[in-house]
Structure 1
Amino acid sequence: MQPVLVFCLFVTFWNLSSCSRSGIYIDNGLDQTAMERAMTRDEKKEMELEILSLLGLPKRPRKISKSPLKRSAPRFLLDIYKTLMEQDNDENNRAKRNTEVYLSGEEQHQIHESDVIMTFESSNDHVPSVRHERGKRLWFNVSDVPVAEDVVGAELRIFKSSGKGNKNPGIIYTVTAYQLIKTVNGEKELEYISAANITAGFVGWMSLNLTQCLVTWVAFPNSNKGIYLSVHPLDKPGHEIRPEDIGLITVKAEDEQQPFMVAFLKAVNSVKPRVTREARTKKDTFNGVMTGYSKIDMDNRQDLRRSCRIETLYINFKDLSWTDWIIAPEGYPAFYCAGECNFPLNAHMNATNHAIVQTLVHLMNPQRFPKPCCAPTKLNPISVLYYLDDQNVILKKYKKMVVKSCGCH
C-alpha cells in the first residue's frame, strides 16, 4: 500500500507546563490531524521568538490585567480591524460594513496610508498648571512611538454626551486644542493646534487634529507637556466655559467613553526577521516548518509527484498562550507553496515564460539545469491588533504575509 500524500500542514503548540505536548501536526490523509513529532522546549521557544521578531516585537508584551474590549481605544481599533477584514474579504463591495464607528474620509485615507495605528489613553500625570482655569488639560504618553516612522496623522477622539443645562440644542460651540509650550522666560504658554464646531444637541464622538503635536512630541520628547482644551460659544469667542458644561467627557468617564489619542504611522523600514546560529542549523526541523516545506517522510513519497499548488499552514495564537495580549486575529493563516513544476507546465501552475524555458532546458540537461521552483505569486497582508501595555493598543499591518496563489518560477 502506497503512503498517503500529505496535503495540509498545521503548526500548533501546547503549553509545556500542561500534560499536553508541543508538536507539529499534519493531515494524515484520512481527514485526521495527527502529531508528526513532538517539539522540544528549545524549538518551541525559538519558534515563539521568530514570530515575535516577525511582528517587530523584541519580547512578548506582559499580561493585560484589565478587561480587553470595554475601553474606548481598543473598541475603536477593533472596528478599524473589522473594516480592514471586510475590505480584504469583499473587495468588490467596500461599502459593506458591520462596524459601529463612523470614519470620515480623512480617517479612511489615513488608515489606508498607515502601516501602524496606535492609541493612547489620556492621563492626569505630567500635566502642568496654566494660567487658564476653565479649560481641561490632557496628557498622553507617546514615548512608544518609533522615531523612525513617519506620522501620517493624529487626532484626539473625545465623547460628547447630551450635557447639562443645554436648553437650546442648536447652539454652536467651538472646541479648540492648544499645545502647552514653554517660552524663553520659562512661563507656560499655549500654541493653537486645531478647532472644531459642535452643536449643543450633538451626542457621539468628535475629533480634533493633533498631527502637529505628535510630530513635535516624537522629535522632542521633553516638549510633551500635553494639550489644553478650550470651549466657547461660536458667537462669543471671549466667553470660555467648561468642557463638561456642554457634555464633553474628559476625565472620570466610563470605560467606553474615555478620551484617547490615535496615531497613524507609516513604517520607513520593513522589519527583518532575526536569524540565529541555532536557527540556521535546523534546516530539516524548525526552518523547514517556518518556510512551509515539510520534508516529513519524503524518502517514502519520492514516487508521488504533485503539481505546484497552495497548501495550508496555520499558526494558532491560542496554542502559543498569546490571547491575553493579542486581540485579533485568533491565528496566522500563512499558507505555503509546495509541489512539482514538471513538464508540461499547465495553466493552473501560473508559470512564468522563464519557467517554461527553464523546464525545456532541464529536460535536455537535468544534471546541469534545475527545474523551476514552486513559489508564491501573490502575497496578502495581515493585520494584528494587540496590547502594548495596559494603556496603549496597536493595530499593525504586515505586508506580504499570507500566500494567496502559487506558481512556477
Structure 2
Amino acid sequence: MHLMQVLIYLSFMVAFGPMGLGDQTALHAIKSQILSKLRLKHAPNISRDVVKQLLPKAPPLQKLLDQYDVLGDDNKDGVMEEDDEHATTETIMAMATEPESIVQVDGKPTCCFFSFNSKIQANRIVRAQLWVHLQPADEVTTVFLQISRLIPVTDGGRNIQIRSLKIDVNAGVSSWQSIDVKQVLSVWLRQPDTNWGIEINALDSKGNDLAVTSAEAGEGLQPFMEVKISEGPKRSRRDSGLDCDENSPESRCCRYPLTVDFEDFGWDWIIAPKRYKANYCSGECEYMHLQKYPHTHLVNKASPRGTAGPCCTPTKMSPINMLYFNRKEQIIYGKIPSMVVDRCGCS
C-alpha cells in the first residue's frame, strides 16, 4: 500500500470512526512503507545489544548523531526528491571484516575486507575515507600509516602498497586517523574482482604497529570506511494548506499531527532518529476548497455527478534523513522520500 493511500485511509478513520484503531493501522502501514523504500523484505534482525557492539566510537558517526540532536524533527521546506519511491543513500559506513583465506599466510592478515553493493556507481562517489584507530604510543613519535592492497597468494605476492600517510603523535594518546581511499574504492566498484581487501599498518619509529585492526566486541574501534555519495537532482514545489490538531473544530481538509516511534516498533536497527513527525490529512473537500489542480475544480464544476469529488490528500511531502544498519550490518545514512506530510489539499 502506497503511503498516500495509507494517509487517505487514516483520514476516513478520523472522520467516521475512533482514532485508536486508525492510528495502529496507519503506523503498521508506515512500517511496511519504510521497509519497501529501503528495499527490505524484513526488518534487519539486529538487537539493541548488537547495535552497541557494532557502533564505531568514531568522529564521523558522532557528527551525524550530533546533527540529530541539533535538528530534531525539522525538515527542509519546499524540497522533494525526484525518486518518490526509494531511499537515497548519502553516507555508507562499512565495517572491516576478515579477508578470504586465499590472501592470507598462516591466517594473517586478519583485516581488512570491505563489501559494497554493486549498484553503487563509481562516478557518484564524492569522498571515501578509511578510518583507523591508533593505540597510544610510548613516546612522542612519527607514525607511518600504510595501506596495502591484498592479492591472492597464488598470484605471487601478498600486498601492494597503495597509500601512505605521515602522522605526528603524542605519547600516551590514542586517536582516530583517516586516509583518502576514493581512488581505491572507485577501482573496486568498476572491477569488483580486484577487491580482495587491504592490509593496514601504522608503524612508529621503533617498528611497533599501532593500528587497531581486531578490536574486542563492543569497543567500537575496528577500522571502517566512510563513503559519501552524491544526491540526485531535486525540485521544489509550494502550495497552501491548513494545520489543525485533535481539538480543532475545523471540518475542512487539514493536516493533523502523527508521531512515528521506532522504539515502539522494536526497530533497534534504526540508530537515528528514534521518532519523527509523519502527520496525516483529514477533512471534507468541497469542490472549491484547496484543490490541488485548477483542472480538478473545472471538471467537478462542469460535471458534479460524473465524478466522485475531490479527496483530502497530501499535496506536499518531504523526506526524512535516517541513520540505520542494513542487512550486511553496514551503517547507512540516507534519505527516505515522501515520509512527512507537509501540506494537505483536495484533489
Q: TM-score, normalised by structure 1?
A: 0.58
CA drift of 1:399 comes to: 2.1
Given candidates 162, 183, 199, the residue that maps to 2:168 is 199
> Which of these residues, 324, 338, 348, is aligned with residue 282 of structure 2?
338
Contact between 2:278 and 2:339, CA under 8 Å: does it hold in 1?
A: yes
Which blocks of at least 5 consecutive residues in structure 1 are unaligned? 1-7, 12-23, 93-113, 234-238, 270-303
Identity of aligned residues (%): 23
CA offset at residue 44 of structure 1? 10
Contact 2:112 2:213 in 1 (8 A): no
| Secondary structure, aligned partner of 1:123 | coil
2:219 to 251, 255, 269: 255
Q: How far off is 1:309 after superposition?
A: 2.0
SS where residue 115 of structure 1 aligns? Answer: strand
Corresponding residue for residue 236 of structure 2: none
Pair 1:223 & 2:200 matched:
no
Residue 380 (1) aligns with residue 346 (2):
no
Matched, 1:396 2:341: no
Contact 1:25 1:34 in 2 (8 A): no
Runs of 5+ consecutive residues of structure 2 not aligned to the other structure: 1-6, 77-87, 234-248
Of 65, 70, 88, which aligns to 1:86? 70
1:68 counterpart (34, 51, 73):
51
Contact 2:15 2:283 in 1 (8 A): no
Which residue identity lines up with residue 140 of structure 1 in the other structure?
F
Corresponding residue for 2:265?
320
Structure possessing the higher relative contact order (Cα contacts under 8 Å, 6 or more residues apart): 2
DSSP-derived class of the 1:366 partner = coil
The amino acid of 1:194's aligned partner reads: R
For 2:20 and 2:31, the matched residues in 1 are separated by 22
Describe the shift of the 1:343–1:372 C-alpha distance in structure 2 as closer, same or farther (beyond 3 A): closer
1:153 aligns with 2:123: no
Which range moves more in the overlay, 147-156 or 198-207? 147-156
Partner of 1:173: 143
Q: Give the SS at the match of 1:60.
A: coil
Check the 8 A contact 1:328/1:386 in 2, yes or no: yes
State whether residues 308 and 339 of structure 1, in contact with CA within 8 Å, keep that contact through their aligned partners in structure 2. yes
Shift of 1:206: 1.2
Name the larger-Rg structure: 1
Q: Does 1:311 align with 2:256?
A: yes
Normalised by the size of structure 2, how large is the TM-score? 0.66
1:243 aligns with 2:188: no
| Correspondence list, 1:263-302, <5 A | 263-265=227-229
**Any residues of structure 2 matched to 1:116-135 within 5 Å, and which?**
116-126=90-100, 128-129=103-104
